[in-house]
A and B are shown apart, each in its own frame.
Chain A
Amino acid sequence: MQPLERYASLLSDFDAFRAACDRPLPSVVRVNTLKASVERAREALDAEGVAYEVTDWHPGVLRLDERGPGTSWPYFHGWLHGQEEVSALPALALDPQPGEVVWDACAAPGSKTSQIADLMDDTGLLVGNDNNLGRLSALRHNAERLGVTNLAVTNQDARNFSLKPFGDRTEQPERIEAFDRALVDAPCSCEGTIRKNPDALDRWSLEHIKGIVGIQKGILRRAIQATRPGGTVVYSTCTFAPEENEAVLDHVLREEDCEIRPWEPPEGFETDPGVTEWKGEEYDPSVQLAHRVYPHRNDTGGFFCARLEVMT
Chain B
Amino acid sequence: MDFTDTPEDAEFRAEVRGWLTANAEEKKPGAIYKAKYGEAALIPLSQEWQTKKFKAGFSGITTPLEYGGRGGTQIQQAIYDQEEVNFLVPRHIGSGIPLVIPTLLVYAKEEDKKQFIPEILRSDKLWCQLFSEPSAGSDLGGIRTRSERDGDDWVINGQKIWTSNAQHADLAILVTRSDPDAEKHKGLTYFYVDMKSPGIEVRPIKQISGMANFNEVFLTDVRIPDSQRLGEEGEGWRVAITTLMNERVSSGARPAPDFEDIFGLARDLEIEDGPAIANAAVREKLAHWYIQARGVDLTRMRTLTAMSRGQTPGPENSISKLVSAFKRQEIALFGMDLMDMGGGLMSRETTPMRAVFQEAALEAPSGRIAAGTDEILRNIIGERVLGLPREVRVDKDKPFRDLPTGV
A joins B in a complex:
no
